[in-house]
């Protein structure tokens, strides 16, 4: 489509709306406004036009405003709590210190669209100091900020922490294949923790299959958008259109997750019982090295490394480590301190109080590079046993992976 055709046919430019659904109510909470052009009966996306830097800014802005004005005009009839996601090029906003856009929105505030319903979507890579000031200025009017187009890297985490957006949009496109890059999940995990810390809501977009919806739900996503739910439309839909369907699907997710958690709980319990048995058997020889040797026989294919620490995290024993299929004692580890590890002291206190072992989450072992979990177990109030589990063992109990 020729840019000139678009510019000379502004009446052919109009908005599409893609609904955003929420996890807590299973209903439409907002719409992203998208630009479309009707060229000879064919509806095409204005996306490429808006992103074309060869087209002078004022022309792009004119088309953008035409679409937005039509969209907001239509949105006047919506429930007063429905959010409106507006895409804007940060450079175009900064152009006039963001005043034109603000005045534009204020005009519609008079018609009943409060600024608190506007979610301004900007791309992360466009952010600079000037941008921060502008966004903070907009915020004083109640406008919400969403970060879209995160890129594939976690390198934006610091910028997100700095900007403290209301909403972070996460693209699920990389999850289209059943085997996304392993780093993808870890990055998302960091992102979900950061979002929680700064009070931002995660919106997962490009959800095209049910497993992507499940993934979004599992990773702390509150808002969802994508063809699996609804494609962009020229009109608004009943808010509860998917309520029953989503309720049913989320029920399945919940059942699956609970089953998994119950199985992890059962494995933790069986560890607890097994260790108590072994310890009762070894009660007389409570020398740490002998205990670890005895454990290495009983947990031969289960453990990859074992050691004992005191309640300040100082290692009291050598490592018992399985090297090339053979158990060996590694005395160099005696005396090291592990209290700096995340959750270490917290888990220690929990074990002491509950007098029970704890199974950690999945993580990557620094030395072996293997995916593992650690079972920690209180020998008494001051001594704690740590057992790093083999990948084979996790693999045999697939709920552990
Ligand atoms: Ca967007």
Task: Quickly list H helices, 199-309.
Answer: 210-218, 243-281, 288-298
For residue 92, how far is its CA from the centre of ligand 1 (angstroms)? 15
In this predicted structure, what is the pLDDT of residue 220? Answer: 92
Q: Does the residue 264 lie in any domain? A: no
Whether 175 and 184 have beta carbons less than 8 Å apart is answered as: yes
- The answer to whether residues 216 and 292 belong to one domain is no
- As for how many domains the chain has, the answer is 2
Same domain, 208 and 306: no
Q: Are 199 and 278 within one domain?
A: no
pLDDT score for 49: 92
Residue 358 lies in a domain: yes
- Alpha-helix runs per DSSP H in 76-228: 90-94, 99-110, 129-139, 157-163, 182-198, 210-218
Those residues whose beta carbon sits under 5 angstroms from the ion ligand 1 are: 87, 121, 148
Read off the pLDDT of residues 99-138 as tens digits, 9 standing for 90 and up: 999 999 999 999 999 999 999 999 876 557 788 889 999 9
| pLDDT score recorded for residue 51 | 86
* Phi, psi (deg, nearest 5) at residue 213: -65, -45
Residue 360 in domain: yes
Residue 314 CA, ligand 1 centroid: distance in Å? 50
> What's the chain's Rg over C-alpha atoms?
28
- State whether 203 and 334 are in the same domain: no
Nearest CA-CA partner of 359 in 343, 335, 379: 343
Same domain, yes or no: 159 and 308: no
Q: How far is the CA of 30 from the centre of ligand 1 (A)?
A: 13
What are the distances in angstroms from CA 58 to CA 61, 64, 219?
5, 10, 40
Give 154 Cα–ligand 1 centroid separation in angstroms.
Answer: 19
Rounded to the nearest angstrom, the distance between the alpha carbon of 118 and the centre of ligand 1 is 13
What pLDDT, on a 0 to 100 scale, did the predictor assign at position 176? 76
Same domain, 192 and 274: no
User: Residue 369's domain spans which residues?
Assistant: 270-400
User: Cα 268 to chain center, whole Å?
Assistant: 27
Q: How far is CA 257 from CA 214, 224, 313, in A?
A: 10, 19, 32
Q: How many CA atoms lie within 13 A of 325 on its CB side?
A: 0
Residues 6+ apart with CB under 8 A from 207: 172, 213, 216, 224, 225, 226, 227, 228, 229
Give the residue from 230, 253, 278 where a domain finishes.
Answer: 230
**Cα 338 to ligand 1 centroid, rounded to whole Å:** 44
CATH of the domain at 7: 3.20.20.450
Domain edge (last residue) among 213, 230, 247: 230
Q: To which residue do tokens 């506007």 refer?
A: 118
**Six token digits for residue 198:** 């700064």
201, 278: one domain: no
- Please write the tens of the pLDDT for every residue from 249-261: 999 999 999 999 9
CA 169 to ligand 1 center in whole angstroms: 8
Q: Is residue 243 part of a domain?
A: no
CATH at residue 312:
3.30.450.20
Using the mean position of ligand 1's atoms as its centre, give its distance from the Cα of residue 110 in Å.
26
CA of residue 244 to ligand 1 center, whole Å: 27
CA of 147 to the centre of ligand 1 (A): 9
Residues 217 and 276 in one domain: no
pLDDT tens per residue, the chain (401 residues)?
688 889 999 999 999 999 999 999 999 999 999 999 998 889 999 999 988 889 998 899 899 999 999 999 999 999 999 999 999 987 788 878 889 999 999 999 999 999 999 999 998 765 577 888 899 999 999 999 999 876 555 557 888 888 899 999 998 887 777 677 777 788 888 889 999 999 999 999 999 999 999 999 999 999 999 999 999 999 999 999 999 999 999 999 999 999 999 999 999 999 999 999 988 887 776 689 999 999 999 999 999 999 999 999 999 999 999 999 999 999 999 999 999 998 999 999 999 999 999 999 989 998 989 999 999 999 999 999 999 999 999 999 988 88
* 258-265: long-range contacts, CB 8 A cutoff, minimum separation 24: 259/399, 260/399, 263/397, 263/399, 264/359, 264/399, 264/400
Q: Tell me the CA–centroid distance for residue 270 and ligand 1, in Å.
A: 48
């Amino acid at each position: 489509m020729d840019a000139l055709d678009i510019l000379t046919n502004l009446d052919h430019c109009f908005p599409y709306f893609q609904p955003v659904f929420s996890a807590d109510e299973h209903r439409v909470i907002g719409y992203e406004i998208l630009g479309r052009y009707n060229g000879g009966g064919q509806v095409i996306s204005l996306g490429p036009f808006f992103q074309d830097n060869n087209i002078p800014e004022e022309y792009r802005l004119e088309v953008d405003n035409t679409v937005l004005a039509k969209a907001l005009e239509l949105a006047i009839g919506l429930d007063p709590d429905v959010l409106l996601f507006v895409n804007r090029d940060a450079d175009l906003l900064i152009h006039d210190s963001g005043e034109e856009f603000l005045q534009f929105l204020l005009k519609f505030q008079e018609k009943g669209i409060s600024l608190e319903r506007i979610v301004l979507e900007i791309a992360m890579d466009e952010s600079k100091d000037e941008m921060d000031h502008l966004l903070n200025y907009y915020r004083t009017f109640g406008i919400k900020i969403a970060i879209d187009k995160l890129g594939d890297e976690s390198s934006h985490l610091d910028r997100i922490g700095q900007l403290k957006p209301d909403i972070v949009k996460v693209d699920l496109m990389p999850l289209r294949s059943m085997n996304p890059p392993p780093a993808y999940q870890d990055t998302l995990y960091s992102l979900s923790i950061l979002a929680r810390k700064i009070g931002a809501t995660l919106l997962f977009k490009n959800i095209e299959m049910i497993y992507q919806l499940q993934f979004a739900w599992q990773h702390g996503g509150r808002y969802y958008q994508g063809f699996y739910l609804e494609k962009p439309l020229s009109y608004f839909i009943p808010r509860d259109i998917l309520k029953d369907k989503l309720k049913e699907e989320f029920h399945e997710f919940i059942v699956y997750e609970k089953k998994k958690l119950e199985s992890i709980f059962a494995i933790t319990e069986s560890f607890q019982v097994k260790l108590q048995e072994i310890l009762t058997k070894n009660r007389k020889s409570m020398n740490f090295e002998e205990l670890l040797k005895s454990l290495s026989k009983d947990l031969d294919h289960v453990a990859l490394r074992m050691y004992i620490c005191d309640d300040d995290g100082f290692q009291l024993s050598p490592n018992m480590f399985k090297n090339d299929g053979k158990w060996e004692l590694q005395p160099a580890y005696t005396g090291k301190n592990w209290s700096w590890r995340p959750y270490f002291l917290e888990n220690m206190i929990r074990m002491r109080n509950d007098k029970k072992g704890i199974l950690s989450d999945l993580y990557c072992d620094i030395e072996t590079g293997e995916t593992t979990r650690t079972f920690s177990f209180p020998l008494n109030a001051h001594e704690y046993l740590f057992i790093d589990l083999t990948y084979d063992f996790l693999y045999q109990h697939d709920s552990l992976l």
